[in-house]
Structure 1
């Protein structure tokens, strides 16, 4: 037994396991014990859908660390199938239930770290306890889903929920040749993202046969004598299935903290300070169960992501071992891939900012769209990235970004994420010095272009309008299409005047000087050139941000 500090950690996976390993690196004399109620101490739960889909073939590949590794490499004791059921704060002890023997015992602590994680949300819907209905949270969950698919020779699946797990499960079940129906209560997939940015993900699924039911609510699930499941929708429809996946989100596991009298936050998570300390000075909490500060919105909330959980575990360990460090907060940087489409985001979306009442005031937000190639267009294989950048009109501070496309998406969002973390502005993006070679990027990288377009708005070089405004434009606005004749013939804004950009300077006399002119092309570049020229000749011109392509994406989102 060590004579050093006694550190007990409740829960492994990301937050608890990283805390344990970091604490050992900081203090060789500490006695560290990690309790995990399940059979695995640290596993890649983000990889579970891909194990179901046979992309990851071996269950063993999901194991990040084993009890033996913690023992041999770090001198950390891991106790599996050991659930901490109570915390006695006065005595500084925990009660542990050994599920193997069925007995309880006490352990003393100098520092206690709670990393209980989150549990799948289970709505009060009849039939969710039936055989064949699963959540996707642990390795045993994925193991049981695989078993069900194989034993039932499943050909149909219903997924309830269209967030990250729902989309990843849809992709992987489609890869296993199941017919997939995805039911989402909201009018879009990925409800926290802006609807127009999710359109390519929606199309990637439907092109591969997924039946997506938006704005639908599940009333109940029933099971026939032969094991067939039927999902009953409140709209009156039904969907038969061999397997049902519940993926409507997670809620923090706070029972232990609540019964110990620790303070909870307004969202129901454990309240912690910048040092991950709870309302008890001897207890810390990390991971999906805690409420954290959002550096963009200034609010506190839940952020069940692996990256923040790992960093929180590290912070807690450092503080316990005497180092004065703080957790900076979160901004919600995440990515999801569905077949050949990738959707990534950092910072809050437009809909979240508007829901929080921050869009107009106090943040004074503006947005721009662009559709550049992920590398130089002259080099073979360039793929379009659609980027939406949100920034403050007050000072150009970057508030959020979303991007979708086939290649190079997460790279650009990672760059913008770091810019947000450092308090960067759109002017920093236009000046960012990034790698360039034609197969990797462009001399003006998509990140640079986003900064340049936003900076043009802030400097007053151009005024922008957006797709919803174009669709509901006031009477009297003159809409000008500056694309080539063939492009115009393929589709255009109703009532638009057509003057190709190359003819604009000699045909300006055809345009009204007493009305606003809203200019568009396909992606917004040619129309920006046109708007600049028109403004210098005395016209009141505005540019449709992202052009006709953004208008089509917005219209598709509306029509879903």
Structure 2
């Protein structure tokens, strides 16, 4: 059996090494267009920033080491130019010699990934993506050669763009970050991104949203908001599109997303051609529909699974949740599942929960605040998604929620998870458990909640807003029109409250819940402002409220 693999990073190399472990007799050839294989592309930004100092540590394998350990025939600087599916051959260009040759195969794996969009085509300013070792070497040279007060433009405020910003600032580069959409980290909802944008600005980053590059000429960038910049170089992190030219020319089917269509075994429309990686459609775990999910973990996992299929095992892909995380300076943002924006766009009913717990017990030194958002199906109590922004502990909590979603644990079921506890690691009521408690209170009708972007309409309809924080908290900042009655005095002052519906709030929601329970048991129609003043304030900063959501 002869297997040819096109692409020697992530999915391609995972497929090659797994197939060798399963079949010692197989002939395995890997063609890689670039000069490197099996490198740690997720670590590239951190080499630019000097966090990773040893460049060689990013080069996990070489053709020689792969030949020695796995008996793989790995050929770098070889570009596959065409596929003849009927003859089961590929046409290959040796980029070093210029020679072209034809190679036959029994099974073919396409792991060609995705291609960066060109944000500044034709630029006379040095412009690079941050996807390959060559990119890193070029950007490193530009940083080293930069004059006094160096500056750079980063196009795109997604995960790669933020990692580029973080690491370039570490090298003393002044950064302007532009984002086409209304806020950075577009997979997250706007109120969750506010702390990250503020953190970037506190580090001197000029963050500009709803902005694109208009023209680049005479070493000057003109943005479409009229601002001109003269950066020393540009990092293009504006996103990627599936690399499908080879697939299209071979007559293979493309999906509705523009990615390569594959079945659960990663097989394309040709039974002897498979595809894995960023250019391939995935099955979305929530909708069952097709989606593009460009994650290294999925590429590696699917590379492994396609090797199992070729080796004769009954292996199928698991639908994708889209779990992702990024760190910017000392702030972390993570997401799993769908956002509120996606749910609203799809017209799918959902319930939202905002909490602001600490990473561990507050009496133990070093506790850091987190903002958590859970999206729940109001009919089934299923978890639809989650977003967390904070410092330490974000990674742990997003992974717990991802496992809960994969295992079918409900939102209320989070309250019953037994998680490791010691004061330096968590709380006796872990933030995950707290989400579950809130979810269960909403599910059972123990409390009712209203969202930050629903408050104005509720007040217009005649509700009265009661701020149950302390007088000092109220004086430091309050929602216009709120009446301040601290929760500890509420029982004695119920008679002061006007008739009609009430909305209560505290700083983060917990005291608001207590106040709502007090008032409900006094016969009042009351709802708690979900996430309290902190969530409301973050939402108002965006000035871009989402459409009215189900609650």
Structure 1 length as normaliser, TM-score? 0.95
Tell me if structure 2 keeps the 8 A contact 1:9–1:16: yes
Q: What is the SS of the residue equivalent to 2:194?
A: helix
Which residue of the other structure, out of 28, 32, 40, is the alignment partner of 2:36? Answer: 40
Residue 446 of structure 1 corresponds to: 431
Residue 149 of structure 1: aligned partner: 143
2:262 corresponds to which residue?
Answer: 272
Match of 1:419, SS? helix
What secondary structure sits across from 1:522 in the alignment? coil
Cα deviation, residue 474, structure 1:
2.1
The Cα of 1:235 is off from its aligned counterpart by 2.1
2:381 equivalent among 396, 406, 424: 396
Alignment of 1:123-202 (within 5 A): 123=119, 125=120, 127-128=122-123, 130-153=124-147, 155-202=150-197
> 2:478 aligned to 486, 492, 495, which one?
492
Cα contact 2:179–2:208 (8 A) shared by 1: yes
CA apart distance, 1:131: 4.5
Aligned pair partner of 2:306 in 316, 321, 324: 316
Task: Tell me the distance in 2 between the aligned counterparts of 1:433 and 1:27.
Answer: 42
After superposition, the C-alpha distances for 1:355-391 in whole angstroms (9 at most, x for unaligned) are 2x243xxxx2111000011111111111111100001
5 Å-filtered alignment, 1:495-506, equals 495-506=481-492
| Structure 2: runs of 5+ lacking an equivalent | 546-551
Q: Structure 1 residue 126: deviation in Å?
A: 5.2
CA RMSD of superposed structures (Å): 1.3
Could you tell me how far apart the structure 1 residues matched to 2:207 and 2:125 are? 24
Contact 2:188–2:339, Cα closer than 8 Å, also in 1: yes
Question: Which residue does 1:30 correspond to in 2?
Answer: 26
Q: Give the Å deviation of 1:320.
A: 0.5
Matched, 1:107 2:92: no
Q: 3-state DSSP class of the match of 1:318? A: helix
Structure 2 matches for 1:532-543, cutoff 5 A?
A: 532-543=517-528
| Aligned-residue offset at 1:434 | 0.6
Structure 2 equivalent of residue 71 of structure 1: 67
Q: Partners of 2:261 and 2:57 in 1: how far apart?
A: 34
**For residue 225 of structure 2, what is the aligned residue in structure 1?**
235
Secondary structure of the equivalent of 1:389? strand
The answer on whether the counterparts of 1:252 and 1:288 sit within 8 Å (CA) in structure 2 is yes
Query: CA contact under 8 A between 1:119 and 1:137: conserved in structure 2?
Result: no
Structure 1: gaps of 5 or more residues: 224-228
User: What is the CA distance between 1:559 and its match in structure 2?
Assistant: 7.6
Residue 53 of structure 1, CA deviation: 1.4
Checking the alignment, whether the CA contact within 8 Å between 1:368 and 1:546 is kept in structure 2 is yes
Structure 2 residue matching 1:241: 3-state secondary structure? coil
Q: 1:373 aligned to 347, 355, 358, which one?
A: 358
- Listed as ranges, the matches of 1:332-343 within 5 Å are 332-343=322-333
User: Given the two structures, how large is their TM-score scaled by the length of structure 2?
Assistant: 0.96
Q: C-alpha displacement at 1:533, in angstroms?
A: 1.4
CA shift at 1:20, angstroms?
0.5
Give CA deviations for 1:248-296 in whole Å, capped at 9, x if unaligned.
1001111111110000001111000000000000010000110111011
SS of the residue 1:539 aligns to:
coil
Q: Is the Cα–Cα contact under 8 Å of residues 125 and 234 in structure 2 kept in the other structure?
A: no
Q: Secondary structure at the match of 2:270?
A: coil
Shift of the alpha carbon at 1:557? 2.1
- Aligned to 2:467, which of 473, 476, 481? 481
Q: Distance in 2 between matches of 1:297 and 1:451?
A: 23
**1:428-467 correspondence to structure 2 within 5 Å:** 428-467=413-452
Which of the residues 283, 286, 297 maps onto 2:287? Answer: 297
Distance 1:293 1:437 in 2: 38
Q: CA deviation at 1:422?
A: 1.5
Aligned partners of 1:126 and 1:219 also within 8 Å = no
Q: Does structure 2 retain, via aligned residues, the 8 Å contact 1:292–1:329?
A: yes
Contact 1:127 1:220 in 2 (8 A): no
- SS of 2:5's equivalent in the other structure is strand
Q: How does 1:404-415 map to 2 (within 5 A)?
A: 404-415=389-400
Q: Tell me the CA shift for residue 339 of structure 1.
A: 0.5
Residue 288 in 1 paired to residue 278 in 2? yes
